[in-house]
Chain A
């Protein structure tokens, strides 16, 4: 008994006096809540960190408007950690990356990459460093630098970090986390869709501007953007969209419209192979409720309902056809995730296809159909 007590005491003393003490009080940390990666015009890496100022966030001080809730610090560096060290020189507290909720990539960085390499090369740090958070949402900044977005103050949240994933969720998409981005970028062929954000020039608010297409076959270089509406349909095809409001303009009577909110969005991508070669058919369907009806049509009337569904279906069909056109003709990259379906259906063929999948994709015959079914006419029948 006595012996064990003495041994325990010595062990305790050795740990305390040995300096093996990694205790850090929370107010010794500079909590990084968002990181921005930019390439300067001369091709150097500029890392910006949005760092929370907890005192500005706490409930007691929030009424004093002068307190800022965050600060943005930028520094150049050879790589992220080098830049991080340079950021540290400007701060009195230790940088703490584990709560980084958002990663923003500036347009120039996405387009040109660094030192002739795309951003593909620079994903490593975020995974390798155990202190880093891989559940960050990742966005591309359209027409701007990540630093500009980091400086904006969201409308509701005190910090950008939570605001960005809420935007995606309220638009009916699944938030796109870094770990998914990583998983997607490690497979071959095709392209990745990343949400894009841009700064409104008039005000200092940010706005969702659709999706950025990153070409996996070009080291994740930016191919171009989709506008928000296109991004919704693209997400529907890739299975990342949960909800969508489709609005059709009624031809009879100018300006009258009808909207349906489609809640469970389903998709089915089939790949066929016959004598002509590979064919892809995309079937999208969803049930929804009519949420706005400014037309003279009465959804409770079978004939009118048919017209409504036709009209809405047509709008959606056109949008999808346009999107496929854009993928095949304009960007010539497969951001719809068709490659993955081919991979699953024809794993043998995929081995030879994956090298140059985007070229194959551009010539692939793709057909698409959208079926929208209405479920609930809403609280009234015909337009009021």
Chain B
């Protein structure tokens, strides 16, 4: 695992601290300087070519990061066989070619500092160094192996696009461009990370997104000072308001349609090179409970599904603690027959209800965590062991009572009803303090815990937009979209 933690700020590589070294006219000297920069970098290739008039040309590139075909057929071959490219003006020397940037590549640039050149080479450019030329011509011919566009794996939908973002930033922004075809779709690029120099693109639609929001995010991204960015989580941590909330304050998605929907609603999106996960901010509580295809499917089903999600998310948070409160503190609140059957099943249990529920909750979370990381081949093993050993055997042995298994698994399953996977985390996490409270104080404790959670949610206002909007503060015209998904014809 690559880790950025090993690079602390005082251990930064010396590359940045060096005084800027300029390119001189002597090719041999320039080559030596570059060789020194790329010392012990076996993947950097130095290729010198002698052309017709004995003019020497030096190509520097990183093996595997450039399109060899293009370099060979469009740059090297014409130079070697046909001599200097003849454009509008006749070229006399290689130096002139470099000066006029006359190579058959779309993106070229001329730099005079070695450091800039080195950066470009590492990002997939070919550097051309010629005799008697005190600048380096860079042609962007980068091409490297990337993953193909695949179906979203964590945000599956029944309806809607099957494309998911990839690790390549440009592919991702292209996907967005293809959906929102307006020059008002802005993409501001930032470079974050001293070592990784990760490209971060802040995207928004000019005129829809609030300028204040854009400014805020822009300044927060610019202020990031870390050695490396490996995933969008790094950026998220710096841009979000508080790290001490169990609730996510940004949507993270791998679907282009989710990003577009966000942008069209006036949010901003942050693309990060090297990860298929794009951040959309700000986010509200209700966004976490909406699925991407809510707006594609007919509104009646969607409304029903939304309510199922609302009920199940509450259920996943409260069911175990309410079970504890009702059975151990308020048995009078249960229907007599239910009470009697629960009591009957509990007769043998050696442990108090609270401990039992805690044990099972821990087991459940353990099984869930184990299931994520395991290789496909051993995955089923976990479920077998979980179901047989913990489910059946523990009940049969009388260690855990059957209702507890039902309660814990029902609450666990219902937390997976939450369409955005990471939005289920707070519900699963907050279950534990609520369990403790209900074990100590009964329903009173549950109510206390809920009050704390609610007051946290109410004061949470990521990037200036209240988390519980439109419920609190109440926005009447937006309310309908929380309780039901209104048909579009009527909403307009």
- In the complex, A161 has a CB within 8 A of chain B: yes
Quick one: CB contact mask for B322-359 with A, threshold 8 Å, 1 for yes? 00000111011000110111111111010011100000
Inter-chain CA distance A52–B338, complex, in Å, is: 13
Q: What residues on B are CB-neighbors of A15 within 8 Å?
A: 440-441
- A-contacting residues, B7-24, CB 8 Å: none
- Known: A26-B328, A131-B332, A133-B332. Contact between A31 and B440, CB under 8 A? no
Q: Contact at A54–B353, with CB atoms within 8 Å? A: no
How far is B335's CA from A98's CA once the two chains are assembled, in angstroms?
Answer: 10
A57-B340 in contact given A12-B440, A25-B346, A27-B347 (Cβ < 8 Å): yes
Residues in chain A near residue B349, CB distance under 8 A: 27
Q: Which of A16-24, A82-90, A194-202 contacts B (4 or more CB under 8 A)?
A: A16-24
Asked if B442 is at the interface (CB within 8 A of a chain A CB), the reply is yes
Question: Of residues A16, A26, A101, A133, which shows the largest number of chain B Cβ atoms within 10 Å of its Cβ?
Answer: A26
Q: A54 — which chain B residues lie within 8 A by C-beta?
A: 340-341, 343-347
Cβ-neighbour of A29 out of B331, B336, B341 (below 8 A): B331
- The residues of B that contact A27 with a CB separation of less than 8 Å are 343, 346-347, 349
Within 8 A of B (CB), among A7-41: 12, 15-16, 21-27, 29, 31, 33
Report the Cα distance A99→B342, complex, angstroms: 14
| CB–CB A98/B331 < 8 A | yes
> Residue of B at shortest CB range from A26?
B343
Contact present for A26 and B439 (CB under 8 Å): no
Chain B CB within 10 Å, residue with most, of A22, A25, A161? A25
A side interface size, CB within 8 A: 31
The answer to whether A101 and B346 touch across the interface, beta carbons within 8 angstroms, is no
Contact of B331 among A16, A26, A33 (CB under 8 A): A26
B347 touches A55 (CB 8 A): yes
Chain B residues near A33: list those with CB within 8 A.
Answer: 336, 340
In the bound complex, do residue A58 and residue B353 qualify as a contact, i.e. CB atoms below 8 Å apart? no
Q: Is B442 within 8 A of A58, CB to CB?
A: no
A-B residue pair count with CB separations less than 8 angstroms: 82
- Centre residue among B329, B341, B345, B346 by max chain A CB count within 10 A: B345
Contact partner, A58, options B347, B354, B439, Cβ 8 Å? B347
Most chain-A CB neighbours within 10 Å: which of B332, B337, B344? B344
A168: B residues at CB distance < 8 A: none
Question: Which among A22, A25, A96, A133 is the interface contact of B353 at CB below 8 angstroms?
Answer: A25
- Does residue A162 face the partner (Cβ distance < 8 Å to B)? yes
What per-residue 1/0 map shows which CB atoms of A37-56 lie under 8 Å from chain B? 00000000000000010111
Q: How many Å from the CB of B338 to the closest CB on chain A? A: 10
Kindly state the separation between the CA atoms of A167 and B421 in the bound complex, as whole angstroms.
51
Contact of A16 among B328, B337, B440 (CB under 8 A): B440
* Set of chain A residues within 8 Å of B336, measured between Cβ atoms: 31, 33, 99, 101, 161-162
State which residues 228-258 of B face A: CB under 8 Å.
Answer: none
- Closest chain A CB from B51 CB (angstroms): 70
**What residues of chain B lie closer than 8 Å to A29, measured between beta carbons?**
331, 343
User: What residues on A are CB-neighbors of B331 within 8 Å?
Assistant: 24, 26, 29, 31, 96, 98-99
B residues 343-385 touching A (CB-CB < 8 Å) = 343-347, 349, 352-354
Provide the residues of chain B in CB contact with A56, threshold 8 Å: 344
> What is the CB-to-nearest-CB distance from A93 to chain B, in angstroms, rounded to a whole number?
10
Which B residues are CB-close (under 8 A) to A99? 331-332, 336, 339-340
Q: Is the CB of A24 within 8 A of B344?
A: no
B340–A31 touching, CB < 8 Å = yes
Separation in Å of the B392 CB from the closest CB of chain A? 13
Interface of A is mostly: mixed
Closest beta carbon of chain B to A166's beta carbon, Å: 12
When C-beta atoms are compared, the residue in chain B nearest to A29 turns out to be B331
* Alpha-carbon gap, A162 to B331, bound state (A): 18
Task: Identify the interface centre among A27, A29, A133: most chain B CB within 10 Å of its CB.
Answer: A27
CA separation between A27 and B439, bound complex, in Å?
A: 16
What CA separation (Å) do A59 and B345 show in the bound complex? 8
- CB of A162 within 8 A of CB of B345, answer no
**Bound complex: CA of A57 vs CA of B441, how far in Å?**
29
User: A52 vs B342: C-alpha distance in the bound complex, in angstroms?
Assistant: 12
Whether the Cβ atoms of A98 and B332 lie closer than 8 Å is yes
Are A162 and B337 interface neighbours, CB within 8 A?
yes
Which of chain B's residues have a CB closer than 8 A to the CB of A16?
440
Q: A54-B344, A57-B340 given as contacts; is B329 within 8 A of A23 (CB)?
A: yes
A358 to B347, CA, bound (A): 53
Which residues does chain A contribute within 8 Å of B342, judged by CB atoms?
26
CB nearest neighbor in B for A101:
B336
CB neighbours (8 Å) of B441 from chain A are: 15
Tell me which residues across on chain B come within 8 A of A98, comparing CB atoms: 331-332
Q: Which residue of A lies closest to B336 (CB)?
A: A99
Residue of chain A at shortest CB distance from B452: A8
Q: How far, in whole Å, are A58 and B346 apart by their CA atoms in the complex? A: 9
A56 to B340 alpha-carbon distance, docked (Å): 10
- Shortest beta-carbon distance from B396 to chain A in Å: 10
A325 to chain B, nearest CB (A): 41
Residues of A46-97 whose CB lies within 8 A of B: 52, 54-61, 96
Please, how many angstroms separate the alpha-carbon atoms of A25 and B340 in the complex? 13
Chain A nearest Cβ from B437, distance in angstroms: 9
Residues of chain A with a CB closer than 8 A to B345's CB: 54, 58-60
| B-side contacts of A162, CB under 8 Å | 336-337
**Which residue on chain B has the smallest CB distance to residue A135?**
B336
Bound complex: CA A16 to CA B347 (Å): 26
Shortest CB distance B379–A (Å): 32
Closest CB in chain A relative to B337 CB, distance in Å: 7
Measured CB to CB, the nearest residue on chain B to A12 is B440
Measured between beta carbons, the chain B residues less than 8 angstroms from A55 are 344, 347
Also in contact, A57 and B440, with CB within 8 A (given A25-B353, A26-B331): no
Taking CB atoms, residues of chain B closer than 8 Å to A21 are 440
* Alpha-carbon gap, A162 to B336, bound state (A): 9
Most buried by B among A15, A60, A133, A159: A60
List residues of chain A with CB within 8 A of the CB of B440. Answer: 12, 15-16, 21
Cβ distance B422 to chain A, nearest Cβ, rounded Å: 25
Instruction: Jot down 22 A-B pairs with beta carbons below 8 A, ordered by A.
Output: A12-B440, A16-B440, A21-B440, A24-B328, A24-B329, A25-B328, A26-B339, A26-B353, A29-B331, A31-B331, A54-B340, A54-B343, A54-B344, A54-B346, A57-B340, A59-B341, A59-B344, A59-B345, A61-B344, A99-B340, A133-B332, A162-B336
Other A-B pairs, 13, CB within 8 Å; known A31-B336, A58-B341: A22-B442, A23-B328, A26-B339, A26-B343, A29-B343, A31-B343, A33-B340, A54-B344, A59-B341, A96-B331, A96-B332, A131-B332, A159-B340
* Chain B positions near chain A (C-beta within 8 angstroms): 327-329, 331-332, 336-337, 339-347, 349, 352-354, 439-442
Shortest beta-carbon contacts, A-B, top 6: A58-B344, A98-B332, A54-B344, A54-B343, A26-B343, A99-B336
